[in-house]
Amino acid sequence: MNAGRVVVRVAPAKLNLTLAVVGRRPDGFHALHSVMVPLALGDRLAFTRAHGPADALHVTGPGGGAASALGPPEANLVLRGIAAARAALGARGVSPERLPALAVRLEKVIPVAAGLAGGSSDAAAAIDGAFDAWGFKLADEGLDAASVAVVGAAVGSDVPFFFAGGWALVEGRGERVTPLRAPIGEPLGVLLVTPALAVPTPDVFAAYAAGARPMTGAALATSGHLAGECARGLTAGRLLERAGLLAVANDLVPATAAVVPDLVAFRRAVSRLVGRSVGQSGSGPTLWVLYPSFDAAEEAAGRVRAAVHDGSLTAPGDGPPTICATTILTAPLSSPAQEPAE
Ligand code: C5P
């Protein structure tokens, strides 16, 4: 890439509308059946050529306050994503001189270790952005979207989902991604409430493996039904009618509750306050509530913020929860491919 060029990518958060655990695989990972959707809430990554010989990462933004929760830079999924992209191109005979070190500015907006797959989305955006920065397209060098998703899967279970670019049924440990049609109609609003505590995904799966799991297979039934309905074409209104069923269709809830017992009472309190069903995204602790529009979600966010402020709602964690309104994306975010150097 020429020295002044800046490649930009937006890395959306994801929400699990359903999450069924269908078994344990020989590799120790759990096999899932999950309808996953991308959100307008996202991190922003800007790639330039690094001054030094090594890839470099600089984290900023409101979520950057939790930079310590991101771990050391060398363990960050952005740098691991770039390394995976370089290795994939290197394995196809591309010379290292064509893959120079990159400097990435990551503006962190998505809460960290919150069940929103911010790290995996950053990794997917890093792979895609690195390809672009080095002047490669996915179709080049025999790399189609599926094989790039395989590169991503090695970095994190949720990475392949982000290469699908929209609503998807996710199976296996996350590597089997079947695109689904997004509902027709106004994009649904979502209220997200994330307690100020990082919940490591391995801890939640370990609790699940140790027996903290639901008694019924209801989540799988709901998940299968929703995937079928999406494939056939669902309206946003119909989806909203399903919110109560979706909110209880997450098999990891008892495991997350084993890791963060106070989340159970908090979830009930949020539900009482907003008068709607409250779901949990992924391994938590982010709670979600669906609304017909962004404005309706924003109005509810205001009520939750006020209740936290006046002390009538207390969240587990080291401080006040992150409360935000966003929408479920119905079309892929178009990332500005290039912008002038700052
Ligand atoms: O792939 P990722 O880094 O997100 O996974 C973190 C950990 O969560 C894994 O090491 C594994 O313990 C657990 N996990 C699992 N089954 C999955 C995804 C994650 O057991 N499908």
CA of 95 to the centre of ligand 1 (A): 33
All structural domains of the chain: 5-181 (3.30.230.10), 189-327 (3.30.70.890)
pLDDT of residue 332: 67
CA of 201 to the centre of ligand 1 (A): 6
Q: Any idea which residue has 């740098």 for tokens? A: 79
Per-residue pLDDT tens over the stretch 264-283: 999 999 999 999 999 999 99
What does 38-52 look like in DSSP terms, one character per residue? EEEEEEEEEEEE-SS
Residue 44, CB half-sphere, CA atoms under 13 Å: how many?
14
pLDDT value at 35 more than 50:
yes
| Cα–Cα distance for residue pair 78/83, rounded to 1 Å | 9
Q: Which of 29-38, 52-61, 69-78 has the lowest mean pLDDT?
A: 69-78
| Cα–Cα distance for residue pair 191/288, rounded to 1 Å | 6
Ligand 1, pocket-test mutation among 36, 157, 259, most atoms within 8 A of CB: 157
Per-residue pLDDT tens over the stretch 41-68: 999 999 999 999 999 999 987 655 555 5
**Protein residues whose CB sits closer than 6 Å to any atom of ligand 1:** 29-30, 32, 156-158, 173-174, 201-202, 205
Per-residue pLDDT tens over the stretch 158-200: 999 999 889 999 999 999 999 999 998 899 999 999 999 989 9
| Cα–Cα distance for residue pair 315/65, rounded to 1 Å | 19
Per-residue pLDDT tens over the stretch 278-336: 999 999 999 999 999 999 999 999 999 999 999 999 999 999 999 999 999 997 666 55
